[in-house]
Amino acid sequence: MKSLTKQQKGIDYWTKRVSSREIPALCSTVKDLEKLAKDDVSSLAKLGRSVMHDNALTSRILRVANSAIYNKGNSKVSTVSRAAVVLGFDSIRNICITAKMLSSLLASKNLSQSVYQRLLKLMAQSFQAAMLARMMLSDHDDGLKEEAFIASLLYRIGEVAFWSVGDAHSDKLDKLLDEVDETAVYATIKSELGISFNQLSQGVARSWGLGELLVKSLTTPSERTPEIRSIYLADQLAELVSGDNIDKDKLSLFIAQAAENLDISTESFTAKFIECNKQTQKLAEAYGANEMLAFIPDAKDAIDRISHNEHPLSTHNPPNLTLQLTKIRQLTNTIVNKTDFNEVMKVALEGMLKGVGVDRCGVLLLSRDHLFLQPRVVLGEGKEALKQQLHIRLDNPSSAFTQCVRVKQPMNINVSNIESVLNHVGDNVAEQLSTYGFMIAPLVVDNKILGIFYADRYFAKQEFDLVDFESFCHLAQLANLGFTTSMH
């Protein structure tokens, strides 16, 4: 079989294929339910009619609507339209979408046993993420909670849809992924499909009209609004506890970030996480998703196991969560106390070097004519050489550094795109940059760009993942606030 990349099959191709061939019934149902949600004149009776032709689906919806998780009263509901009155339109609409998604995918035919198990595991992971996102937004209004629930459930809709194909392409990719380690999964998928699963999910979300929140959470996962933050953290936590080999450092970091997001202790969040996991299992039973139930992980067991994990992250300068949180608190204090500019910069860079776990990091400031970036402070191994030679011209609009300065957005350059990035900087600069990538973020005061933060793992020869990038951006954002207050 020829590689799919040779056939140049991209987002549009796979989106159309998913919509027309793999799960058209689910596509049609979700579109219909989304239209009802957005149509102010739609009656609740229309919701009932949209699923009444499917007795098994209706039964499943009513069983969930009458479960202790949704129905807090004593009276049972016997129709979908009545359930919408009792529980609220958003809740029952999302129960309908969830029930339809589970029933459609659990009934997937012509799948090999290996692919079907991969699909079940992914569905269980998405279901757990949806429950976690709703739990993390428990202090917000019901509408936002339900919207975040469905966005989390559908966060990996592109990947779910692909595995439901049941053809030679899915079988081939399944076998390839079984043969590579975790670090090569993304590259293997990109090589075979020509796109990532995240890109496919974006295409499906836009094509099906699955809502602005889902599209936004897929395209800008680092945005720090409560709902986007909760969806991202929920997805990452669900993925981590679903893995066979629990990554102690990542799971600890995400639990700490989720706790910070809710402004509670890590112990309190861990307890909420475990309770949410129990509720997820009960709700899966109510949906009748018995096959999927076996793949919902035991969060308590996963959290207990991280203390015995024998495979911590192997980096030249490993992440230090405790130090990272200390530097976050110190940066927060600089905002309140209007600390000196240089002190803010020192705290932020120390957080990046030892907290995030990088080999080299620094602040590069714009020259007065805005034609160069010049190192102001550099920390880490080989800092003197980097400070002397990392002088970056900004006259090439295709340069990652030029784009970062122009649009004021952080960038995570990795192995997949480092070659093109190096082609747009001078040879002297390219020699100083890690071939495994680097992270950059704008240094902004009062919406005015003054320079950038830079970090790499030059000596470790490692790229940064989303956890690293998120932590790096968080420190940069807090530093920018500290810089702003220090100059007023």
Q: For the chain, which residues make up each domain, given as ranges?
A: 4-308, 321-486
Nearest alpha carbon to residue 102 among 298, 292, 297: 292
Q: What per-residue confidence (pLDDT) applies to 401?
A: 94
CATH class of the 4-308 domain in this structure: mainly alpha
Nearest alpha carbon to residue 298 among 318, 324, 276: 276
Q: What per-residue confidence (pLDDT) applies to 100?
A: 78
Q: What per-residue confidence (pLDDT) applies to 298?
A: 83
10-residue stretch averages of pLDDT, the chain, 488 residues long: 50 78 58 58 57 72 82 73 76 80 75 86 93 91 86 90 79 85 79 86 86 89 87 93 78 88 86 89 86 85 63 58 91 88 93 93 93 92 82 90 93 85 81 89 94 92 88 95 87
Helix (H) / strand (E) element for 449: namely strand 448-456
The Cα–Cα gap between 409 and 477 comes to 11
Q: What per-residue confidence (pLDDT) applies to 313?
A: 37
Q: Are 292 and 315 in contact (CB under 8 A)?
A: no
* Residue recorded with tokens 């009792």: 86
The Cα–Cα gap between 450 and 266 comes to 36
Q: What per-residue confidence (pLDDT) applies to 1?
A: 42
Nearest alpha carbon to residue 198 among 158, 233, 238: 158
The yes/no answer on whether domain 321-486 falls in CATH 3.20.20.70 is: no
The Cα–Cα gap between 37 and 31 comes to 10
Q: What per-residue confidence (pLDDT) applies to 167?
A: 73
| C-alpha 442, offset from chain centre | 22
Q: What per-residue confidence (pLDDT) applies to 309?
A: 45
**Residues paired with 439 in a beta bridge:** 412, 455
What Rg do the C-alpha atoms of the chain give, in angstroms? 24
Q: What per-residue confidence (pLDDT) applies to 42?
A: 54
